[in-house]
Amino acid sequence: MDDLVVMALFRHGLTEANKRHAYLGWTDSPLCEKVQRASCNYEHLFSSDLGRCLETAKIMFSDSSIEILSEFREMNFGLWEGKTYEDLKHDLDYQNWLSTPFSFKPPDGESFTEFSERVEQGFAKVIETVMVSTVRKAAIVTHGGVIRYLLTKYAPEKKDFWEWKAAHGQGFEFVWKLDDLRSGDRCTLLREVPLMENLNG
């Protein structure tokens, strides 16, 4: 149906830093678990410019060209990049941020407002691509924070940012009527994407 638009969000595969529960924003870390190919095709593929997303995108959608958008990077954690809770728990700035993460920002990092405005700019580019083309099914490979933010803003069910969960390799599909997407409304349908092929048969 030409008046429906499907946009899928996929979180990159698990990395070494993720395994350590370290803060991983604009720095990078290699994937440490096998990423499986997706069993569903999309007409246009977008990705964060960070290596863990590009590597995931190339594996999941090996036959697709990738449009890279740096706006879909994870939040910049500044001086806390690569550090864990145990490393930071006695830091007063960190304690303040944990208490009110939407008001404080990491030193040399991004505030939540800066992060969300950047993600919105990236999403606006995706919408523009859809509006000026025949693309009606697109995928974005990105990060947990980006996915949580977009779920908070566009999912049919309203939940707080931290209520949403996005596991590594997990995907969500948003389905809009074209006019609703153009108007910036919430999508009409949200579904998890069981797209991973069983490569072992």
Q: Which two tokens stand for residue 133?
A: 């083309």
> Which residues, at least 6 apart from 36, have a Cβ–Cβ distance to it below 8 Å?
59, 60, 169, 196, 197, 198, 199
Angle of helix 112-131 versus helix 144-154 axis, rounded to 10: 70
37 pLDDT exceeds 90?
A: no
Residue range 180-191: average pLDDT?
A: 94
The pTM of the whole model exceeds 0.85? yes
Q: Bridge-partner residues for 190, per DSSP?
A: 174
Nearest to 62 by CA among 82, 81, 42, 79: 42
144 φ, ψ to 5°?
A: -60, -45
Domains within the chain, CATH numbers bracketed: 4-192 (3.40.50.1240)
SS3 state at 196? strand
Rounded distance, CA 131 to CA 126, Å?
A: 9
Residues, the chain, total?
201
Q: Rounded to whole angstroms, what are the CA distances from 164 to 45, 56, 85, 124, 167?
A: 23, 21, 21, 22, 10
Across the chain, how many H-helices and E-strands are there? 7, 6
- Strand (E) positions, the chain? 4-11, 44-47, 66-68, 137-142, 171-177, 189-192
Q: In whole numbers, what is the pLDDT of the chain averaged over residues? A: 92
Give the percent of the chain with pLDDT over 90.
Answer: 86
Residue range 28-46: average pLDDT?
A: 88
Question: 81-133 pLDDT, tens per residue?
Answer: 999 999 999 999 999 999 999 999 999 999 999 999 999 999 999 999 999 99
